[in-house]
Each structure stands twice: as C-alpha cells, then as structure tokens.
Structure 1
Amino acid sequence: MNDKTRLIIINSPANPTGGATPKSEFDTLINGLSEWPNVAIMSDEIYGQMLYDGREHVSLLNYPEISDRLILLDGWSKTYAMTGWRLGYSVWPDNVTSHAEKLCVNIHSCVNAAAQFAGIAALQGDQAAVFSMVTAFAERRQVITQKLNEIPGFSCIEPGGAFYAFPNITKTGMSSDAVQKKLLEEAGVAVISGTSFGVHGEGYLRFSYANSIENIETALTRIKSCLA
C-alpha cells in the first residue's frame, strides 16, 4: 500500500490456491483501510459456497464501513456449475453505478433471456444439488491432497475452499514451467504453472479437482511415475 494505491482485489476462496481467508484477517484489513479512504476494494466471491471443514464464507458486504468503496463480484458459474451460461452479477457503490452500466452496455449489452431465466431457476430451486456437489469436492480434495503429498518433491496443504490444490514443487529441483511442460508431454496430464498467476507463483503448480476421483487418481499415478 502506498499513496498511488487505488484498488485492492480480493478473491476468497481463492483461485489458484484454494485458500479461504478467515474473518479475523478480514477484520484486520478493514480496520487498516480506515487509514486509506481513497482505496477501493474489489471482492471476487465466486467460490463463496465452496468451503470445507465447517468454514463459513465471509462476504465483504458485511462491512458497512466500506460500502461506499466496495465492488463485489459473484455469479452462477461455480455454485451452480453454469460456466457456459456466462451469467454473473456485481454490486457497486451508488457513486460509480452509472459507470458500470456504461461499461456493460458497451461490452455485452445484456445477458440473453434464456440464461436469465435459468439463473432465476437456480436461485429459487432446490439447493440440494449444490450441497451434493460441494460434498463430492470435499472428498476429491482429500484424495488429491493425499496423493500429491506422496509424490517426491511435492508438498501440499489441504485447501479450504474452491476446487484447486496448489502444491509446492521446489524440492523437485525444476521450475514450475518445466514441470508443467514435462507432465503434459510425457504424462499426458495438464496442470498450470504457478507463474501463470504472477511471479510469486514460481515453485507451485495449480491442480483442479473438478473431475472424478478415478481420473484424479489416474493422473497422479502418471505424475508420480513421470517424476520418479
């Protein structure tokens, strides 16, 4: 933070790490922002329903002291597995809403009617499917974390949310990009180098466990053999 800072972007639960920021840390952040009244906050809460081990989502909408500078982003793609519908929403402060409207009108005009009705049905319908999906993700999370930690040179903590694992691979002695390429070309497994998310991602790989346990286990068996 410095005098040039105008926007902080927060993503919790997070892509690519799967981390979930606890309320105590948000409390500290919001208290600290009182000294920076000209800094806006953009909170991407798209994975807010995907939390594990009893964690509860902390929405920045619960902090009225920043309501005049908070932009919240959310949507249907994760909670309702509606990625192809391209349907989302945002909450903006009153003083910038008109600018957001101009942006939307000139970029995509509006979401098609069929997608809007589908979004309404998702919100108003039985939420049991969401619970079942998150339960399945929780099981896959345990499997992928365990299997990743069995690979020499890998170290992975259990993610608190979303559907990503972000193991540290520094002990392999290879760069993230090199391991990414090797796994794709020699093991037929696609992962994403941590550097795709910034320079501080070096030494990490992003894995998605939005797949079956069978496929996850097959992929990790191939990886272990490839790096042996």
Structure 2
Amino acid sequence: MAARIIAGNWKMNGLAAALPEVAWIADAARDMTCVETVIAPPVTLLPRVAGHAGITPAAQDCHAADAGAHTGDLSAPMLAEAGARAVILGHSERRANHAESDVQVAGKVRAAWGAGLRTILCIGETEAQYRGGRTVEVLARQLAASLPEGATPANTIVAYEPVWAIGTGITPREDEIERVHRALRDRLASRFAQGGEISLLYGGSVSAENAASIFALQNVDGALVGGASLTAGKFVPIMNALAEKGAYA
C-alpha cells in the first residue's frame, strides 16, 4: 500500500511570524501515526521548520548541480544540510515562470536523490489541454520525461496538479481525478518494480470542504496543498480527513 502523505507548499509566503502555525500543525501531526505531514516553507524558514518533530521538512526547488557558478540557486546537498528531507520539483509555477523543461526537472530529480532527498514530482495539464481531452496524454509525457529510472516509494512521490485548478477554487470532477490517478498508477506500476506503491497526491484547490471526498477516491494517497497549508486552522482539517481514510483503509 502507498503511504498516506499530506504536503503543504508555502510557496513565496511566510516570515518568522508564521512559525507558530508550524508548531500547531506539528502538534496535530504527532497524533496522526498513519499519515506523514510534509511542510515546504521558504528556504529562510527551513532550518526552523526542521526542528519540529512530526513534520517532514521540504524545500521547494533545487539546482541540478551540487555546486558551481549559479548565483541565487541552491543545491540539493545545501538543502539537505539545512534540514530538508524532501524537495518539490517540476511544479507548474517553476515550469511556467522559469521555463523549466522535463529534461531539466529530471536532472534536478537525480540531484535530489543523490543528496538523499525524496522528490515530490509535480505534473499537470493546462486548461486548454484539459478542455482538449489531452490530460492523460500530457501527464504521461511529463511523467516519462521528468522521472528518471530508479524511482521507488522511498525516493519519489508524484503529485498531480491540474494547472487550471491551482488557487482557483475549481477542481476536476471526482471521476476525472480518479481516472487520472488510475492511469498514473498503471504507468508507474508498469515502469518501476515498486511503482504500484509510489504515493500519488492530488493538488489544486484542496480544502477542508472537499478533502474527504477527494481522499475517498481510489489511488489518491494524499494531497499537495497550497494556500490552505499556510494556517493550521485550514490545514489540520485536511490532515484529519486523510488520517480518517488511513484509519479505515
């Protein structure tokens, strides 16, 4: 069975004043033995988030090289030394705003694995691709090109995030989410020896109101949450919804 994982991506949000939210999330996480809670804060807060038991600290990106003349970038070994145990890679905002290709994402994945970091690999289709019925085709291409050989449940998590659903309050229909996750599970299982056990997360306007119904779907092992992960009041109910699924799975 794939592990149940709830991950919060803070993106470019959060100063030291937000750290009490992490403490409250960590308090809740310690009681959820069947769920792993991941928080990806801005790198300025990473060492302090890493100090909370019950939370897996994650970075939001890394460079493909371990060192070099890359002003402003951070390598995977640097992030690991700062306390990260995982890293989000291939997020649609990186692909769009920084023109990251699948090949570049794959290079970052290899670098993360080399530094002992687990990768949360993001894939997702645009609204035009969704409306054109190309969702599975686009995701299959991204998964094939962005995820190198050697993926296991220990080093890889895959997050499906429809680009058009991120931060919009709109989500695909439940049958669409289930169909996509089934297709991703089949592709992972056919390609990797333990692919059937790699956790599949859904991301895109996940909230306390819709979390339970999303988590009830087959092959949805958790969620990658954006804005709702910034406060314990919004994030903990989503955590609780996944913990309840884990308890009865």
Greater Rg by CA: 1
Normalised TM-score (structure 1): 0.31
Higher relative contact order (CA 8 A, sep 6+): 2
